[in-house]
Amino acid sequence: MLLLVSGIGLGCLMQLIVIIYRDFRHLLVGRVFLLALFVSGTYLVHPIVPSPYRWMTSILQTAVPGVFWLICQLVFAHRPKLKTLWGAMALYSFAAPALGRLFREFRSLTPIETFALWDLAQYFEYVVVLHGLYFVISHWRDDLVKSRRTARLIFLMVFGGAVGGAALSLNLGIYHELTPGLITSVASLVILACVVQAREGIFSLVGENAAINNVGSATTSDPEASTQAESAEVWLEMQALEELMQSGFYKTEKLTLKKLAGEVGIPEYRLRSLINQRLGYRNFNDYINQLRIAEASRRLSQDADIPILNVSLDVGFRSLSSFNRAFKDIVHCTPTEFRQRYFKAAQTDQKL
């Protein structure tokens, strides 16, 4: 029974590896997911690995929670920030037990060392898995293409649930030799279905090759005429959106996709398609923030005395902290640094 369940799980993992390697190895998140599949495989085969070699699979399988957290960041964050407290905990959850197993080969560990290298690392495993799931839940709607949204949510929730279940079973001793095979088989089957259904969009919020969904409602027996009608309709919608943004509507506080769609006069799903497919933005917030930061940069470079807080409020941000965060993400420096560099360069040009 053990070999049968393990064989099913390993077969599903191998199919996923082939698909991911073939279609997504050019993406960083694709390569990281290949790593996730590999370390998941070590968890799966651990019960059937000969005892002298189980220390290797024991070390490798502890990387699964951290890799899951990393995938969540790469899938949803436009500019992933890995050098954070969460990133440090993800790294610690793998590195500490690995060091603990190596130290244990030479000497017994003190109670403090045991806590630092084992217990604390286990707590961090739970924390990074929960943070990854929180990140999924709070950002899954950022995907502007509706057809991918559900598949992406199921994929990461099942993956995270499997990682959390495996961590609990190992750390709490609720373990049976069939547990790895059952968890891996069920999770990999669901993930395989999600990957097949969503294809290129499963790992990327921008689907450059995907067609615009439901752009036009009119049908015609002439495909060329239908395409021309849809193109004309999209062009009119783009014009309406551009004119509204040029009027400064992006400065509206608490602006939502629903509110913007109402002003443009088109359904939300069509506005999503315009922003994602035509303009190339990953999500609605990124689109609005790009416009707001461009306006803020212009104002900061025109007036050396205007308070930065005033600029942030004028362009639509509700707080200075959110403005500073968005500004640094896009311009790669703080508003104060931007202003100082701009006027310093202007003074240098005047002297020359």
Res. 68 pLDDT band, cuts 50 70 90: very high
pTM of the model: 0.63
Q: What is the CATH number of the domain that holds 39?
A: 1.20.1070
Q: Which residue has the higher pLDDT, 126 or 231?
A: 126
What's the mean pLDDT in 219-235? Answer: 55
Whether 16 and 192 have beta carbons less than 8 Å apart is answered as yes
pLDDT over 60 at 223, yes or no: no
CATH of the domain at 326: 1.10.10
Distance CA 302, CA 311 (A): 12
Question: CA-to-CA distance for 233 and 223, rounded, in angstroms?
Answer: 15
Residue 267 tokens, joined: 């359904």
Whether 351 and 262 map to the same domain: the answer is no
Helix (H) / strand (E) element for 3: namely helix 2-24
Determine the Cα–Cα distance for residues 66 and 93; give it in Å rounded to an integer.
Answer: 7
Per-residue confidence (pLDDT) for residue 88, from 0 to 100:
94
The domain in which residue 261 lies consists of: 230-280
**Residue 282 confidence (pLDDT) above 70:** yes
Please enumerate in sequence order all residues whose Cβ is within 8 A of that of 246, keeping only pairs 6 or more positions apart, or say none: none
**pLDDT value for 219:** 33
Closest CA to 75 of 155, 147, 163, 165: 155
The domain boundary residue, chosen from 218, 249, 280: 280
Determine contact, residues 171/125, Cβ cutoff 8 Å. Answer: yes
- The per-residue pLDDT for range 161-212, each reduced to its tens digit, is 888 888 888 777 776 777 777 888 888 888 888 777 765 566 654 333 333 3
- Closest to 163 (Cα-Cα) out of 37, 256, 77: 37
Is 229's pLDDT higher than 90? no
Q: Which amino acid is at 96?
A: A
178 found inside a domain: yes
> Do residues 237 and 122 share a domain?
no
Q: 249 and 139 share a domain?
A: no
User: What's the rounded Cα separation, in Å, for the pair 267 and 257?
Assistant: 10
Q: Distance between CA 98 and CA 92 in Å, rounded?
A: 10
Domain count, the chain: 3
Residues in the chain: 352
| Separation between Cα atoms, residue 18 and residue 189, nearest integer Å | 14
In this structure, the answer to whether residues 47 and 161 fall within a common structural domain is yes
